[in-house]
A = this chain, B = another copy of it.
C-alpha cells in the first residue's frame, strides 16, 4: 500500500465520470466542509477516462487535479492511495485486480462484477494485496436507514418476521427509449435485477441478515429497442426515431423473488423499470415482534416507525424526520427539520471509506458484501432459469 504524501490526505484516482463519477466527486468535495474532523480527507488527484476531450471537461467541472486516459497507467501511479471504480460494470474486474496488485485501496460501485466468479476474483485480489476494499451500496448511508439499522440492532423491533422491498422506476416504459448500455447484458450484467435489486439485497442483508434460499421470476416486457445514436444516460427518454434500427434487449426489465432468511424471516423483493409514476421508489418495510419500520427513498429523510408497546390509544406509525441531533450525521448538516438530498448518501459512504482506511480496518460494506450480494443475485438468476428454489449454499459450497 502506498503512503499518503500529504498528512491526513488520501490520494484518489477515479475511473468514470458519469452519474456515479459526479456523485462521488461531489461527496469528496463535501467532506472537508461537513466532516472536517474526520481523520483522513480525500485528495481529488486524478480522473481517468478514455475519451480525452470529454474526460477533460469532466475533470475541470468535477474538480480533479489531473487527467489520465489509460486506466492501466492510473493504477500504476505511485502518487495515489485509492482507486475509485465507477466505470460500466464490465470493466470492474480487470481494473480492480490490477489496482489491487498495484497496492491500491479499492472502492468499487455495485454490482461488483458481471458474475459471481468475477466478484470473487476481485475479493481475492484485494485480500491477497492486503488493501482496503469497499462496495458502493450507498443507500446504507441514508440517515433514515441508519436509524432502521439501529432499531434492529438494539432489539427495538424484536424478532424479525418480514422484510419486503421494492425498487420501482419508470424510465424505460416508453418502448422507443433507446438500447442504452444498461440494457445490454454484456456490459451491464443484468437489468433491473443487478441495478436495482442489488441495492435491495444489500439492504436486506444489512438489516435482517443472510439469505437462506430464494425463488424468483424475470421478464423483459419490451424485447427490442432502437439503437442509441450516442451512448445516452438515464435521461435519454424517448429520444429515438421511430424507424431507427433496433436491437434486442438482453437484460431483465423486472425481476421479483421471494426469500427465506437464515434467521427465519420471510422476504419479498421486486425490482422493475416498468412502474409508471415511480421515478425511483426504493422502499422497504420490516415487521418485527415489537414493531415495524418503513422507508421510501423518495422521502429519504423520513423513517416511519411503529412500536407495539406504545400506549394503546395512540398506536400508529410515526413519521420520523431523521434530521434531529439524535440521528446519524445530523450534527454535520443543518438545524433539525432541514433535509439533505440523495447526494449525501455518497458523502457518508466516502466518510466510512476514509475513516476505515485511517483506522486500518475494512470499510463496511466491503467487497465481502459485494460478493455476498452477487451470490444472492446469481442464486435468483439460477432460480429463474431452472424454475426452482435455490439455496445459497449451492453457490457458496459448490
Contacts and interface: CB of A to CB of B under 8 A. Distances in A.
Contacts of A254: 161-162, 266
A173 B151 CA distance: 19
Which among A29, A215, A234 has the highest number of chain B CB atoms within 10 Å?
A215
A129 interface: no
Interface string A242-270: 00000000000010111010001010101
B279 A324 contact: yes
A338 to B, nearest CB: 4
Interface in A310-357: 310, 312-321, 323-327, 334-344
A306 interface: yes
Nearest to A25: B33
A56 to B, nearest CB: 13
Contacts of A29: 29, 33
B279 A291 contact: no
B320 A324 contact: no
A338 B334 contact: no
Interface in A108-123: none
Contact of A343 (B306, B316, B323, B340): B340
Contacts of A334: 19, 23, 342-343
Nearest to A255: B266
A281 B334 CA distance: 14
A53 interface: no
A342 B340 contact: yes
Contacts of A32: 61, 63
Interface in A263-301: 264, 266, 268, 270, 272, 274-281, 287-292, 297-301
Interface stretch (A8-16, A65-73, A164-172, A369-377): A164-172
A62 interface: yes
Contact of A388 (B171, B323, B388): B388
A219 interface: yes
A276 B292 contact: yes
Contacts of A235: 325, 335-336
A276 B308 contact: yes
